[in-house]
Amino acid sequence: MRKNFRKILGCLTLLFLLTSCGGMTNSSEITKLETKETQQEKQQTNKQNVEKNTCTVSIECSTILNNEKELKASKKEFVPSDGWILEPIEVKYETGDTVYDILARVCKEKKIQLDANYTPLYSAYYVKGINQLYEFDCGERSGWTYSVNGYFPNYGCSKYEVSDGDVIEWRYTCDLGKDVGDEFEEE
């Protein structure tokens, strides 16, 4: 009887070990399947995010049309008759892109002249000129400013990260922004 008990116990142990090993293989395969499904879900989410990452950008200098007497004569040829250097267009961007990144890319693609300097003191780019129109070309209070969704940030365009659906407007001001809607107050 003891021999039979040992045989049965041995068979049950062997059966248990075989079943456990099979379970581990199945568990491992399930984990691989879940990992693969998770990776596919992440890829799909990333595709959707890339597709959603769009903003609108425009460049205009219509304020110069109201201040032509202040404009340097050598700059008149660079001012479009309707003030639009770039009418609003929708562009795609990558997460982390800044307003400056968008401007630089669009200007390069559309062959619009852009002159900007990196300012180490502020760790940001400063846009000096677009389409050959520079600061002080139309008076001592003139230059380029930008807004995002109607808001005029008080920091460099290379520090402002773009969000989906943003409307970026680059506008030439002849009065430190007051003539384009910036509520900035001089101190």
Q: Mind listing the pLDDT tens digit for each residue in 120-167?
A: 999 999 999 999 999 999 999 999 999 999 999 999 999 999 999 999
Cβ atoms of 172 and 131 within 8 Å: the answer is no
Distance, in Å, from the CA atom of 27 to the CA atom of 128, rounded to the nearest integer, reads 62
State whether residue 89 is helix, strand or coil. Answer: strand
| Phi and psi torsions of 160, nearest 5° | -95, 110
Q: What percent of the chain has pLDDT over 70?
A: 71
Rounded to the nearest 5 degrees, what angle is found at the Cα of 179, between the Cα atoms of 177 and 184?
35
Q: In one letter, which amino acid is 146?
A: Y
State whether residue 22 is helix, strand or coil. Answer: helix
pLDDT the model gives residue 57: 98
C-alpha 64, offset from chain centre = 29
Q: What percent of the chain has pLDDT over 90?
A: 70
* Higher pLDDT pick, 4 / 61: 61
State whether residue 141 is helix, strand or coil. Answer: coil
pLDDT the model gives residue 21: 46
Mean pLDDT for the chain? 84
Cβ atoms of 98 and 161 within 8 Å: the answer is yes
Rounded to the nearest 5 degrees, what angle is found at the Cα of 119, between the Cα atoms of 106 and 86?
20
> pTM of the full predicted structure?
0.72
Per-residue tokens: 89: 């267009």
| 97, pLDDT greater than 90 | yes
